[in-house]
A and B are shown apart, each in its own frame.
Chain A
Amino acid sequence: MLELHGLHRRFGDVVALDGVDLTVEAGELCGFLGPNGAGKTTAMRCAVGVTEADAGRVTIGGRAVDLEARRRTGYMPEERGLYPRMRVHEQLVYLARLHAMSAADATASADAWIQRLGLADRRDDPVEELSLGNQQRVQLAAALVHDPTLLVLDEPFSGLDPIAVDVMSDVLRERADAGVAVVFSSHQLDLVEDLCRTVAVIAAGRVVLRGDVRALKRASDRRLRLEIDGDDAWLATLPPGVTLAGRRGEELQLVLAPEADAGAVIDAARGAGPLLGVRLEEPKLSELFREAVNGGDA
């Protein structure tokens, strides 16, 4: 669906994108992560054609991005943007029509999204009179109103209250289920972990981690915590790929490489004495993120 190939972009001496490659498939809900200044916003702006890359190319559906493709894209800029004095419904209809929707379809779609996002009682109010949270809902509606097949959302969750976060999450999941390719940036890693099947992590202008969240976790080191009523002699015979990372009181903290067999480690531990506690932890997305970003810097 959306493909970024080797995007490069400089702003003066600052390298914002240093060869970004990223593919987001139809029906995929992809979290786009990265520390501040890593190039998330620039990459997204290049994807929707708001910023032009110095080198590399963007394709949507296998074709270079033309006006037609851009009109099938829904975009939420990082710095929110709407006409402050224009009324909510009128504004959504206008934006939908600019995206080549007929007047009747635009009206129906604006009504539907206003209803869906809980803005019915503010339908005819100027946007500037809405609370920031409600303005954000209008902004989401503006990205969705023309029924796009690709959604590019820059920090859609920032500044939302928990209820609005739920609404936004539901809408994004629903759109992805309907076959829309969705990519959004966020710093809320727990939320991304709950919501997204796939993530991409960008650091210093390059994608340093990309893939299915579950697969990425499985491909990473796990942490095994053991509490044993016995001595440490068995640690001398740890299987390959298992290292002792630390000890807190009675608890041993072992790091297991992806290929290491956790069962074999536990069996060996049981030989040393009765097990008081066992906990096998997959890495959190935040740990994968830190590792990828720090690795990217190295």
Chain B
Amino acid sequence: MSATRTVLLIAEREVRQRLRSRLFVWSTLVIALLLSAAAAAPAVIGLFGTDVELPDEPVDPEPVAIAVVGGLAADEQAALEQALGPVELTVVDDVDAVAGLLEQEAISFGIVPGERVLTAATSGFLNLRSFEADRAAEALGLLAALDGDVEQVGTVLGALPLTIEELDAGDVEDEAGRFLAANIGVVFLFGVLILYASMIINGVIEEKGSRVVELLVEAVPVRWLMAGKILGLGLVGLGQVLVLFGPPVAILLVTGGEFVPTGTGGLLGALLLWFVLGYALYAVMAAGLGALVSRPEEAQAVLTPANTLMIVGYFVGFFVIQAPDTTFSRIVAVVPFSAPYAMLVRQAVGDPAWWEIGAAIGLTLLTIVGLTMLAARLYEGGILRVGARVRVRDAWRAARD
């Protein structure tokens, strides 16, 4: 029997055994169902007509609550009204009192006349600085510059807020959608790679611990065993990704219309690509390292190097989401261990050149080849040595060609 047929036979057993696990099959189906339901929800809710009706006439604006230290001259109040419409002034003694009111959210902002405008500290993540405070500062500044001519202030302010036009409102939503997709992609990829690395190592340890491997190596070269196991579990993983994400993405594409970020299908393709490459990268490491131990409780300890690379890649992925096209992001997106996450993110929210994607794929493939040779040797040297954990050096020496 040829190597290919033997490897396929081993892979087939892995697939069968995995699909025989009711927990695995049912949990996958239930999650797929939930994801599909979530994907279908916007369309279903849309059927009940919950679109928000906007009023035709603008309603009377609420007065803007402002604290003033000391008090405010009449022209200053008039200028503020020019800028903001009706205002509700609270006179306070000092800046501390303004801070207290800001903390209670009782006022929009405070004023120290002739000096400054006070607002609450803004969040660094989202810029929520008060638009009203900006307008007030402009108005009071204009009032001073225009020698107290309130009318003039009104005219200038009327001309000032230069309308801000969002060129294509769709892009903003699109970007938000892609941002969300990148986040989900990174989390999912990490979860699935961790899961399958642990499946691989547990499978290796089961064969080693149960000694069935002694029967297997008699009939099959150990490298074929490793290849069959990785291929089989990889096919299960690929199938699981398709079952989990195929239906929801299809539902979104059919029902979502403008809601769906452009290129969602392409993103699913990128996710599949980086699942396959990331899986190969980590699965060979898991197989090679797994052959060094004999007991399931040793699995996590021996997997630490692979898990560390995976976790670093994962966090790098999140970093890249924030700034997908910086030099750092462009580098980590082609470095093999972070590429599955970082390039996936750049393909979702960044703008990688085709050669960058090619370089990431090529370098990852090269690393996979190198790691496979390394892992096969560890596997060969470690798989028959039951008992205490085998040192890498010993496994390396034991595998003599």
Contact = CB atoms under 8 A, between A and B. Distances in A.
A75 B218 contact: yes
B216 A98 contact: yes
B220 interface: yes
Contact of A83 (B210, B218, B219): B210
Contacts of A51: 384
Given A79-B386, A98-B9, A100-B1, A70 B218 contact: yes
A186 B216 CA distance: 23
B215 interface: yes
A50 B216 CA distance: 9
Given A77-B211, A80-B211, A52 B400 contact: yes
Contacts of B6: 98
Nearest to B13: A94
B17 interface: yes
A81 B217 contact: no
A84 B400 CA distance: 30
Contacts of A45: 214
Contact of A48 (B212, B218, B221): B218
Given A51-B384, A83-B206, 11 more contacts: A48-B218, A71-B219, A75-B218, A81-B213, A81-B214, A95-B219, A97-B9, A98-B9, A98-B10, A98-B220, A142-B215
B9 A79 contact: no
Nearest to B384: A50
A83 B212 contact: yes
B377 to A, nearest CB: 14
Chain A binding site: helix, strand, loop or mixed by DSSP? loop
Contact of A82 (B17, B212, B219, B221): B212
Interface in A31-80: 45, 48-52, 67, 70-71, 73, 75, 77, 79-80
A86 interface: yes
Contact of B215 (A67, A77, A97, A100): A77
Interface string B218-231: 11110000000000
Contacts of A79: 211, 214, 386
15 contacts: A51-B384, A52-B400, A73-B218, A75-B214, A81-B211, A81-B212, A81-B215, A82-B210, A84-B206, A84-B210, A97-B9, A98-B220, A100-B219, A142-B215, A146-B219
Nearest to B221: A67
Interface of B: 1, 6, 9-10, 13, 17, 206-207, 210-221, 384, 386, 400
- Interface size grouping (class) on chain A: 20 to 34
Contacts of B221: 67
B17 A86 contact: yes
Contacts of B213: 81
A50 B210 contact: no
A99 interface: yes
A70 B6 CA distance: 15
A85 interface: yes
Chain B interface SS verdict (over half)? helix
Contacts of A73: 218
A82 B209 CA distance: 10
B282 to A, nearest CB: 24
B259 to A, nearest CB: 45
Contacts of B210: 81-84
B219 A70 contact: yes
Contacts of A97: 1, 9
A136 to B, nearest CB: 13
B368 to A, nearest CB: 26
Nearest to B2: A100
B214 A77 contact: yes
A50 B218 contact: yes
A155 to B, nearest CB: 13
B218 A49 contact: yes
Nearest to B214: A77
Contacts of A98: 6, 9-10, 216, 219-220
A45 B210 CA distance: 17
Nearest to A67: B221
A95 B400 contact: no
Contacts of A75: 214-215, 218
Nearest to A90: B16
The list of the 9 closest CB pairs from A to B, nearest first, reads A81-B211, A81-B212, A100-B1, A77-B214, A98-B219, A79-B211, A99-B219, A75-B218, A48-B218
Contacts of A80: 211
Given A50-B384, A97-B9, A85 B17 contact: yes
Nearest to A48: B218
Nearest to A103: B9
Nearest to A82: B212
Interface in A188-219: none
A73 B365 CA distance: 38
Nearest to B1: A100
A97 B214 CA distance: 16
A52 B218 CA distance: 12
Interface string A109-126: 000000000000000000
B217 A50 contact: yes
Contacts of B1: 97, 100
Contacts of B211: 77, 79-81
A95 B215 contact: yes
A49 B6 CA distance: 18
A50 B214 contact: yes
A48 B215 CA distance: 10
B382 to A, nearest CB: 14
Contacts of A86: 17
B182 to A, nearest CB: 39
A60 B133 CA distance: 93
B236 to A, nearest CB: 16
B203 to A, nearest CB: 10
A81 B218 CA distance: 12
Contacts of A82: 210, 212, 215
